[in-house]
Structure 1
């Protein structure tokens, strides 16, 4: 650890029950409520001021942009959680009400994770993570939290869900948190299913979910677990990939292999509603039917 600058504040960022200590310009606290929804496992009000001179894990240089501050914090949280056998994965996560348990939706940008999440929400599922999830590997795969923001493009949402009126037709993206009834669950619980989704718009698709072999599954988890490191900073030459040293990389690969060996990874293509229906079928035997809509 290093010590913070005397002219900066030392604060503690809580993420999924773990703490990252950082030194930052006093103005950082004012930007935290805007950043927190995009930091996995964080809550906007949970920013604790620590004593000056407290050893810190990260120093945010004066003048760093809010976007770069978020990217730097998330990269260091990636490393922090690895030390506790937790992967930070690019995923949307929802939780079944009443019975509990989660589904983890994987896929690249534009794959349709949020669209499938909306379709599941219409069957009562609750939000846990909108973009990055904290996934414990041991003793059983379980979600301990994630980013609370659920960003979506209004024009795309309107295409698939014309009845879900978004009063921001000209916005590039909108946060769907305001559309959920209640608030996101702070933690999800044991993973019932993991699905790589691909919304392709084929209304005639009737195929079910397909199970991936272990090697393909491990590769998918490996790619998803580098999301917080695959960021380019706006005004700094720092390479976020270097936040993860060789030992941490080996640890992550071991976690990915363990995850792939104990949790089946499925793929599903078609409309959001079709994929959501297949996910319901997949998880029903584990946790029973769900009634009631979350919107």
Structure 2
């Protein structure tokens, strides 16, 4: 993979354009496996020839499919920063009535997708499967513009909590379930204001089974958002030399991201919750209702 044949193509993410000098395989065969993991990129889209005179970002020579995906994600991170948008490691879902969204945060394996599955069972619409685009450019609440379209779950733990999905007892450790009814992820027609953020921990603490969600102080919230917003930069490529994706974000871009992180910690209520996916989903529903104007509550 990653031979000498290259093309300059243009990708579109949430209406923004990124010209890329990449292995020809990106447009020829890799795209269906890359696009669902790029925030704001429509699953059915295809790379097109870039306009003449546009300076593209160059994927490192020798990059395979996984490295291409990671490199593009890092550059989309920077592109969206320039437009007042954070790429946050988070799952997002919209309330059934269409007003307001919740953003689910947590590290790998915390249970963000499990809670999203429980919300989907309540009729919520999925907006982002792993990375959410959060517009922080305005003076009010941030809004979800979309995110990654892949709905990937850990097979064994998901089968435990959601046997109705009929996941096979054996097979890959992770599986895609976005083709199931109610689980398809699509960008909203317009930005969806975020009512609240929720740091989840499925089965993380049995003593918290009956506890109410706990509000997070601003300092802790800022650190939480800082970690989540650096997700697409937290890798070293497998290519010769092992370039770090943090190289993509220069100091000016970092300061811009930090300003948005501070804005999120000040403008958006953030909570933590423990327990089963269904219990956390119920808490999320109450939080969203409690942080909307009365006329917007379903």
TM-score in terms of structure 1 length: 0.90
RMSD: 1.9
Tell me which of 233, 237, 243 is aligned to 2:248: 243
Residue 194 (1) aligns with residue 203 (2): no
Partner of 1:225: 229
Could you tell me how far 1:183 is from its partner in structure 2? Answer: 3.4
| 8 Å CA contact retained: 2:83, 2:137 | no
2:241 is equivalent to residue 258 of structure 1: no
User: Where does residue 8 of structure 1 map in the other structure?
Assistant: 6
Q: Is the 8 A contact 2:151 2:185 kept in 1?
A: no
Conserved 8 A contact 1:96-1:102: yes
Report the 3-state secondary structure (helix = DSSP H, G, I; strand = E; otherwise coil) of the residue aligned with 2:209: coil
CA distance in 2 between partners of 1:132 and 1:204 (Å): 27
- 8 Å Cα contact 1:25/1:61 also seen in 2: no
> Could you say what secondary structure the match of 1:138 adopts?
coil
Render the CA deviation track for 1:223-264: whole Å, top value 9, x for unaligned: 100000001211242111111111111111111001110101
CA change 1:116–1:183 in 2 (3 A) is closer
**Match of residue 83 from structure 1:** 82
Matching of residues 254-293 of structure 1 within 5 Å: 254-285=259-290, 286=292, 287-289=296-298
* CA drift at 1:181: 2.9
**Does structure 2 conserve the Cα–Cα contact (< 8 Å) formed by 1:168 and 1:174?**
no
Superposed displacement of residue 204, structure 1: 7.4
Q: How many residues align?
A: 283
Task: Supply the distance in 1 between the matched residues of 2:60 and 2:268 (Cα, whole angstroms).
Answer: 41
Match of 1:3 in 2: none
SS at match of 2:159: helix
**What's the CA shift string for 1:12-53, capped at 9, x where partnerless?**
1111111110112322202111100000011242421125x5
- Corresponding position of 1:28: 26
Shift of 1:193: 1.3
Residue in structure 1 matched with residue 151 of structure 2 by the alignment: 150
Q: Hey, what's the Cα distance between the residues in 1 that align with 2:176 and 2:156?
A: 13
Matches within 5 A, 1:6-155: 8-29=6-27, 30-44=29-43, 45-51=45-51, 54-139=53-138, 140-155=141-156
CA distance in 1, matches of 2:95, 2:64: 37
**C-alpha separation in 2, matches of 1:63 and 1:78:** 22
Tell whether the 8 Å contact from 2:86 to 2:136 is kept in structure 1 after alignment. Answer: yes
Give the secondary-structure state (helix, strand or coil) at the position aligned to 1:144. Answer: strand
> Structure 1: how far apart are the matches of 2:132 and 2:63?
25
Q: Shift of the alpha carbon at 1:62?
A: 4.8
Q: Which runs of 5+ in 2 are unaligned?
A: none
Q: CA, structure 1 residues 163+8, in 2 after alignment: closer, same or farther (shift >3 Å)?
A: closer
